[in-house]
């Protein structure tokens, strides 16, 4: 049996936007992480006959949220900040520990590198379930591991898109993700039993991986729109040659949209579809990798259009996954029956 404790350092804590009720939101985020301590528990994987158990105590993250609430309160009250508090804000980092235990059939010890991989997969799983439950609450951008040889960056998962979803929800936006109890999300996700799989099988697995690909991106990219469409078509089971209307109808069914929201969906999904088609068929105006709007102001409008379309697609995927989780479903089943028509049916 092998056992390794990995020190994990995160350099950013949750929200980056300024909200009207920031104190309450921060307090709710802290309570959510406290709740996660009792719900997430240990995570188990199987690797080549070995049983892998990953455990983590979120207490340091809860404490960091508490300190963040104190800072937010001091700022809102316009109180003078202590020098120590200012220094902590400017050089923020939080460390916690992940414990990896491997029980192998042959009794051989597992390498530290493989244990790092198991811990990394655990953080991907944690990032997904936390943010699908309460969008934007978990940020793993630039997470570093130290398994005995110094800190090395291992995970780059940004919660920015989830936080934009959160903001849209607070503003009462249409087709916006909501909140799903964490225990319900974890139970649904565990039942998928993806383990350490690196290749998606089910449609919902494709959607999950697509979400994670988008969250790994650094700058807005047309590829994000491609990933969002891939996720939607996987969740709703659309096949090659099926019409645009079929996707609209299936989304409207799952999200229970009224005619007004369905019209909004159709307009925005069409804009996404046109962007994807332009990219695939050569009509898209590609951006220079620099993405510098200072030397070419036209980029502002192009990037804004792309970001709006991408975020809409992202929100739609998250809202769809949340609806599946609430209903305890793992996809949308479309049934078609053909039968003979009686004279009374056609007359």
Is residue 294 assigned to a domain?
yes
Is residue 338 assigned to a domain?
no
pLDDT digits (tens, 9 = 90+) for 222-279: 999 999 999 999 999 887 667 788 999 999 999 999 999 999 999 999 999 999 989 8
Q: What's residue 73's pLDDT?
A: 60
Given a cut of 90, whether residue 149 has pLDDT beyond it is no
What is the average pLDDT across 126-153?
Answer: 93
Does 27 share its domain with 103?
Answer: yes
Does 24 share its domain with 104?
Answer: yes
Given a cut of 60, whether residue 84 has pLDDT beyond it is no
Range of 65's domain? 2-159
pLDDT digits (tens, 9 = 90+) for 168-190: 998 888 889 999 999 999 999 99
How far is it, in rounded angstroms, from Cα 45 to Cα 52? 5
Choose from 19-28, 147-156, 314-323 the range with maximum mean pLDDT. 314-323
Average pLDDT of the chain, as a whole number: 88
The b-or-e profile of 135-156 (16+ CB within 10 A means b, else e) is bbbbbbbbbbbbbeeeeeebbe
Does 8 share its domain with 155?
Answer: yes
Residue 217 vs residue 283, higher pLDDT: 283
Does 210 share its domain with 141?
Answer: no
Number of domains in the chain: 2
Given a cut of 70, whether residue 72 has pLDDT beyond it is no
Contacts of 296 (CB under 8 A, 6+ apart): 288
Does 153 share its domain with 237?
Answer: no
Contact between 1 and 103 (Cβ < 8 Å): yes
Does 40 share its domain with 128?
Answer: yes
What is the average pLDDT across 82-104?
Answer: 71
Does 154 share its domain with 243?
Answer: no
């Amino acid at each position: 049996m092998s056992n390794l404790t990995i020190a994990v350092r995160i350099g950013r804590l949750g929200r980056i936007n300024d909200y009207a009720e920031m104190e309450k939101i921060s307090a709710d985020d802290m309570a959510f992480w406290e709740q996660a301590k009792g719900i997430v528990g240990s995570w188990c994987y199987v690797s080549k006959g070995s049983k892998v158990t990953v455990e983590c105590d979120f207490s340091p993250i809860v404490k960091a949220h508490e300190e963040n609430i104190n800072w937010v309160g001091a700022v809102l009250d316009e109180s003078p900040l202590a020098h120590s508090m200012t220094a902590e804000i400017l050089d923020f980092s939080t460390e916690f520990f992940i414990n990896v235990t491997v029980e192998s059939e042959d009794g051989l010890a597992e390498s530290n590198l493989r244990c790092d991989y198991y811990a990394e997969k655990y953080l991907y799983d944690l990032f997904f379930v936390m943010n699908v439950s309460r969008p934007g609450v978990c940020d793993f951008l630039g997470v570093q591991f130290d398994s005995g040889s110094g800190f090395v960056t291992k995970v780059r998962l940004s919660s920015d898109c989830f936080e934009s979803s959160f903001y849209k929800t607070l503003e009462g936006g249409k087709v916006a993700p909501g909140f799903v109890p964490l225990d319900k999300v974890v139970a649904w996700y565990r039942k998928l039993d993806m383990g350490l799989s690196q290749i998606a099988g089910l449609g919902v697995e494709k959607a999950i991986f697509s979400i994670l690909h988008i969250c790994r991106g650094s700058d807005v990219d047309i590829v994000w729109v491609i990933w969002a469409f891939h996720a939607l078509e996987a969740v709703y089971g659309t096949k090659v040659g099926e019409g645009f209307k079929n996707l609209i109808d299936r989304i409207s069914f799952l999200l229970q949209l009224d005619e007004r929201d369905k019209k909004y969906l159709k307009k925005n999904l069409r804009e996404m579809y046109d962007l994807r088609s332009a990219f695939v068929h050569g009509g898209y105006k590609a951006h220079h990798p620099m993405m510098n709007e200072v030397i070419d102001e036209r980029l502002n409008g192009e990037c804004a259009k792309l970001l709006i379309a991408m975020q809409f697609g992202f929100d739609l995927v998250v809202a769809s996954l949340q609806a599946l989780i609430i209903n305890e479903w793992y996809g949308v089943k479309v049934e078609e029956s053909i039968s003979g028509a009686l004279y009374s049916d056609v007359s």
